[in-house]
Amino acid sequence: MSAAPTLPGVQIADDAQRPVRRALLSVYDKTGLVELATALHAAGVELVSTGSTASTVAAAGVPVTPVEELTGFPECLEGRVKTLHPRVHAGILADTRKPDHLAQLAELDIATFELVVVNLYPFAATVASGAGPDEVVEQIDIGGPSMVRAAAKNHPSVAVVVDPAAYGEVVAAVQGGGFTFAARKGLAAQAFAHTAAYDVAVASWFASVYAPDGAGFPAFAGSTWERSDVLRYGENPHQQAALYTDGRGGLASATQLQGKAMSYNNYVDADAARRAAFDHDGPAVAVVKHNNPCGVAVGDDIAAAYRKAHATDPVSAYGGVVAANRVVTAEMALALKPVFTEVVVAPGYEPEALEVFAAKKNLRVLVLPESAPADVELRPVSGGLLVQDVDRIDGVVTDEDGTVTGGDDPQHWTLVTGEPADDATLADLSFAWRAVRAAKSNAILLAADGAAVGIGMGQVNRVDSCRLAVERANTLADGQERARGAVAASDAFFPFADGLQILLDAGVRAVVQPGGSIRDDEVVAAAQAAGVSLYLTGTRHFAH
Ligand SMILES: NC(=O)c1ncn([C@@H]2O[C@H](COP(=O)(O)O)[C@@H](O)[C@H]2O)c1NC=O
C-alpha cells in the first residue's frame, strides 16, 4: 500500500491508506464510545474530545485532550460554542497534499486530524417528543455539522465517521494502517448525506411548524431517501429500478420472511392491496392485480375474509398480490396455498401459517411494520410534484355553518329514494363504499355479504365501468347472476342515468354514490322507477 501523495494534482490511488495519528471525537450518542476510544488509544492514536465526550472517555481511563486545551478557549454559551475555532477547523481542513497548507500549519503550530468522529444533537427526536420551540431550536447542532462537512470535504486527508454502527470498521481500518482513499470517499458521501438529511429536517420544521406562511402547505418541503434495495428491473425488464425508504415505515420498510426478491410491480401492487385491506375496520383482505383490486372482502375472521375476497374473481386472482389487515392464520394460509399468489403482506403471521407458506418457496411473505399513517401523498409530474392530503375514508362533509351534510359514515348519508336499507343491506353498502375507492376511477363496485362480487374500474366513462362490474359479477360465478340482489357503490356521481340504469337492469337493490350531478333528478328518478334505495354521501373518492 502506498501513502497518500502530498503533491497537488497527484491522483490518489483508491487503495492508498492514510494512517490515523490523531482523532477528534465529539458525539451526542455515546454508544460504543468507550470501546472505540480504548481501541484507538491502544493503536497509538492521540484523542481530542469535547465536554461530555471527553469526560466519558477519561472516566474509562483512556487519555484524552479536552478541546479547550487545544483551542485555549473555554466551551461557552451552554455548549453553543465548543469546536468553532480555527485550531480545530484548520486541523481538519488542511489538505495534506499541499505543501503550503502544511507550511501554514507548522507556522501556526496546528496539528492535523486524520479521523473525525461526530454525531449530532437529536433534532428530529426532539421534534417527535413534542418539545416546545425553544428546546427544539436548542437541539439544532451547529458545531457538529461544521466539523462533519469540513472533514468530508477534506476526505483526501481525513476520514469522517457519523454512525456508531461503523466503529468496528473504524477500529479495523486504524489497526490495519489507516483508511483507504476509497473508504474515505465512501465515508464522506455518508457524512454529506447525514448533514443534508439533518438540514432538511430543520428546514422542513421551520417551514411547516415554526414559521408557516398561512398557505396551508409549507413553502419548503423536504424528504430524504436512502436506497434500501436495487431491484432486478423496473416496471419492464429494460428499465432499471431501486427501492428507497424515507425512514417512516410503511411497505418500503416491510420485512420479507421468505420468497423471491420483490419486484417493482410487486411493490406497486402490494401497496395498493395494503391500502385496500386497511380501509376496513373488521378483518379484511384485498387481492390486487395491476394496481387494482380483483377481490376485496371483510369476514368474521381473516380466513373467511380471504375466501370471500378470492371468490370475487378467482380468474384474476391468479398471480395476485394479497394483503390482510390482521395476523394471517394457519386457516387463511391453507385457503391460499392452492392459489398461485405472488405476494402476501400482513401485520403478522401465526407460526403455523408460516409453516404452510414454507412449502411455497417462491411466495413472497412480507410483514408490515407498525407505522403512523401518512398525512400527505406525493405524485411526481414532469418538473414537479403534486402534494395533497391523503384521501381518508372517515371524511365528513359540512356546509358553511359547520352542519354535517354528508360523509363516509352511513349515518351521514341521505336517502333520496326508496325504502331505508335494513341493517344487513346498510352494512353491505358501507362495505362497498369503503371498497370502491381502492379501484381506479371510474369505479363501480357491486357487493354482497361483505364481499365485492363485481368491480368495474379504470374506464374512461362510468357506463363502461357499470357494464364491466355487472359482467364480472355474472360471468365469474358459475352462471350465478351475482349482480341480482347485490348493492352497488360508485366512486363519483353518475353524470347521467345511463350507467345507473345498467345496474338497475341487472337487479341491484341498493346504491350509494356521492350525488352532485346537474342531472341528479334523472338519476334519482331512474332509481325510483326501479324501486331501488339510493343513498347520497356528498363526498367522493376518485383514485386516478
Ligand atoms: N457548538 C459547537 O462548537 C459544537 N461542537 C460540537 N458540538 C456537538 O456537541 C456534541 C458533543 O458534545 P459533548 O462532547 O459535550 O457531549 C456533538 O453532538 C457535537 O455535534 C457542538 N454543539 C453544537 O453546536
Condensed to tens digits (0 to 9), the pLDDT of residues 341-353 reads 999 999 999 999 9
Q: Which of 24, 50, 65, 118 gets mutated to test ligand 1 (max ligand atoms within 8 A of its CB)?
A: 50
Residue 10: the pLDDT is: 65
Thinking of the domain 250-367, which architecture would CATH place it in?
A: 3-Layer(aba) Sandwich (3.40)
Helix (H) or strand (E) holding 304: helix 302-312
Residue 2: the pLDDT is: 44
In ligand 1, the atom with minimum distance to the C-alpha of 25 is: 14
Residue 71 beta carbon below 6 angstroms from any ligand 1 atom = no
Rounded to the nearest angstrom, the distance between the alpha carbon of 212 and the centre of ligand 1 is 29
Residue 534's DSSP bridge partners are 417, 511
Q: Read off the pLDDT of residues 453-480 as tens digits, 9 standing for 90 and up.
A: 999 999 999 999 999 999 999 987 677 8
Q: Read off the pLDDT of residues 51-69 as tens digits, 9 standing for 90 and up.
A: 999 999 999 999 999 999 9
Q: Selecting from 1.10.10.10, 3.40.140.20, 3.30.70.1150, 3.40.50.740, what CATH number does the domain 396-536 have? A: 3.40.140.20
What distance in Å separates the CA atoms of residue 457 and residue 441, rounded to the nearest whole number? 6
- How much is the average pLDDT of 314-341? 97
In ligand 1, the atom with minimum distance to the C-alpha of 85 is: 3
Residue 84 beta carbon below 6 angstroms from any ligand 1 atom = yes
Other beta carbons within 10 Å of 368: 22
The CATH T-level fold of domain 17-209 is Rossmann fold (3.40.50)
Residue 1: the pLDDT is: 40
Q: What percent of the chain has pLDDT over 90?
A: 92
- How much is the average pLDDT of 322-349? 98
What distance in Å separates the CA atoms of residue 469 and residue 294, rounded to the nearest whole number? 11
pLDDT for residue 219 is more than 60 = yes
Rounded to the nearest angstrom, the distance between the alpha carbon of 66 and the centre of ligand 1 is 13
pLDDT for residue 372 is more than 90 = no
Residue 5: the pLDDT is: 47
What distance in Å separates the CA atoms of residue 387 and residue 205, rounded to the nearest whole number? 17
Among candidate residues 85, 98, 290, 412, the one labeled active-site is: 290
Residue 149 beta carbon below 6 angstroms from any ligand 1 atom = no
Q: Which of 53, 141, 161, 195 gets mutated to test ligand 1 (max ligand atoms within 8 A of its CB)?
A: 141
SS3 content of the chain, % helix, strand, coil (to 5): 40, 20, 40
| Nearest residue by C-alpha to atom 5 in ligand 1 | 143
ipTM confidence score:
0.94
Among candidate residues 98, 153, 185, 412, the one labeled active-site is: 153
| Nearest residue by C-alpha to atom 20 in ligand 1 | 144
* Residue 8 pLDDT class (50, 70, 90 cuts): low
Residue 294 neighbours by CB under 8 Å, 6+ apart: 287, 288, 312, 313, 316, 317, 320, 455
Structure pTM? 0.91
* Residue 7 pLDDT class (50, 70, 90 cuts): low
Rounded to the nearest angstrom, the distance between the alpha carbon of 55 and the centre of ligand 1 is 13
Q: Which of 82, 126, 160 gets mutated to test ligand 1 (max ligand atoms within 8 A of its CB)?
A: 82
The arrangement of strands across the sheet holding 451-456 comes to 255-258, 364-367, 341-346, 320-324, 284-289, 292-298, 451-456, 444-448, 487-490, 510-513, 533-536, 414-417
Residue 354 beta carbon below 6 angstroms from any ligand 1 atom = no
What distance in Å separates the CA atoms of residue 116 and residue 159, rounded to the nearest whole number? 6
Same fold, 17-209 and 250-367: no
Residue 145 beta carbon below 6 angstroms from any ligand 1 atom = no
Q: Locate the domains of the chain by residue range.
A: 17-209, 250-367, 396-536
Whether 101 is catalytic = no
- How much is the average pLDDT of 131-155? 97
Whether 290 is catalytic = yes
pLDDT for residue 158 is more than 50 = yes
